[in-house]
A and B are shown apart, each in its own frame.
Chain A
Amino acid sequence: MSSLAASHEHTVLTTAKVIQPAWVRTVHWINAVAMVLMIMSGWQIYNASPLFDFKFSSSITLGGWLGGALLWHFGAMWLLMVNGLVYLTLGFATGRFRKKLLPITPEGVISDAKAALTGKLSHDDLTKYNYVQKLLYAGIIVVGILIVLSGLAIWKPVQLQYLTALFGGYEAARYVHFICMAAICAFLVVHVVLALLVPKSLRAMIIGR
């Protein structure tokens, strides 16, 4: 009886140590590659007909010219979409989204944001996200879904015309697609800076603990 209890306790301790399970790490890094390919080729596509009064420097774009960039974009999109679907399915099926990202309360977000800005936010327990993390991670999932849907709306404005109409038409969908890209880039900057400031979080995303 006592040995059973001990071994149970042992299992709990080892599983508790795993911060990022293998499936999360796998989809995270595949997503990182797919995102970079999509964003860099997307910038080259944008340059063919800019929405705003600027272009992206060719030193940070992928594809060389519009035709090359489109090949990359419509190649990497499969990687992004299949990987994204796996992530969403497992996120819901394993209960990870519910456990890690919910609940998100405005009070929690405000107090954690204050704590973060005054340098008082603790990162001791990486298994638990603070409210700012919860908000950003849940938010970026929504943005990820929106950028894929707006991309489909631009790609197939006849076959998927109801989707395109949902975004306010073809031209509006192009802006939604661009704004989602900008949001992802802003997220990436914060995400990468914080990962470097708290290296054990980066380690957890590589080796799991």
Chain B
Amino acid sequence: MGRLRSLLIPGVDKQLLVRDAAKVMPDLARRRFIAGGASFGALTLLTGCDVTDSFSAEEMLKKVSKFNDGVQALIFNPNALAPTFPESAITKPFPFNAYYALDDAPTIDGKDWKLEVRGLVENKKSWTLEELYKLPQVKQVTRHICVEGWSAIGSWTGTPLRDFLKLVGADTRAKYCWFQCADAQGYNSPLDMATALHPQTQMTFKFGDEILPRAYGYPMKIRVPTKLGFKNPKYVISMEVTNDYKGGFWEDQGYNSFSGS
């Protein structure tokens, strides 16, 4: 537990996490992941990367993934709304999904919890749940799409993140909102500012009109219907407005960082 707690501290070398994750991968799989670079050489033409830098397929694929971040940011239309559905379309039961079992999900006491606000904001005050509940809320019924491919329709209610960013005087010219969570191993994820300001991006406090249950991220989740599920952090404990790319739990392991829908 001491080790897990230490990983929650920002600035801790995440390479450690990545290496741990790689260890879990079967040896053969890791080798196959790395192998096969030569046949893939043609892609250097598309990315324009310097072939003398590194010839490993892994390095090149990472560069293509960064290139794809840029392409997706270009495609992203800040006014395009994710399709909404009638309440009758809500998936029941809505799946619990994490890299741990439900029993290991964070148990947070709402009375003690505070949302820490850091970085390029005028007002760095921490927010209690009671204070956040007083902000105007909206409901959306949208499709949650997992990076694994499955999807489920859910109902989320909360405060548009862009309203909150305005309220705390965030510098919305900054590149990212970086969220940290209470999950074991310190889940975190960066959200590009254009998406953070999207009208449907929400600080979520309720699921299906009920206070957000533990399974879905009590006390607060960031619901982003224009992103894959892993870019929708649960059990959020802090938000930092920053120009630095600080990485993320899954992003550091190879999932595409933009991962827009």
Contact = CB atoms under 8 A, between A and B. Distances in A.
A119 B148 CA distance: 46
Given A64-B32, A78-B46, A159-B76, A170 B25 contact: no
Contact of A157 (B25, B33, B42, B143): B143
Contact of B148 (A49, A72, A82, A156): A49
Interface in B2-49: 25-26, 28-33, 36, 39-40, 42-43, 46
A158 B36 contact: no
A195 B94 CA distance: 50
Nearest to A50: B149
B30 A64 contact: yes
Contacts of A33: 39, 42
A159 B145 contact: no
A71 B61 contact: yes
Given A49-B148, A70-B147, A157-B261, A62 B226 contact: no
Interface string B70-93: 000001110011110000000000
Contacts of B260: 156, 158-159
B151 A171 contact: yes
Nearest to A48: B148
Query: What range describes how many residues of A lie at the interface?
Result: 20 to 34
A74 B76 contact: no
A125 B11 CA distance: 69
A75 interface: yes
Interface of A is mostly: helix
Nearest to A45: B149
B65 A68 contact: no
Interface in A20-78: 30, 33, 37, 45-46, 48-49, 58, 62-68, 70-72, 74-76, 78
B254 interface: yes
Interface in B220-261: 225-226, 250, 253-256, 260-261
A37 B83 contact: no
B68 interface: yes
The 5 lowest CB-CB distance pairs between A and B, nearest first, are: A64-B29, A64-B33, A67-B254, A48-B148, A49-B149
Interface of B: 25-26, 28-33, 36, 39-40, 42-43, 46, 60-62, 64-65, 68, 75-77, 80-83, 143, 145-151, 225-226, 250, 253-256, 260-261
16 contacts: A48-B147, A58-B28, A64-B33, A66-B148, A71-B64, A75-B60, A78-B43, A79-B42, A79-B46, A82-B46, A156-B260, A158-B80, A158-B82, A158-B83, A158-B261, A170-B143
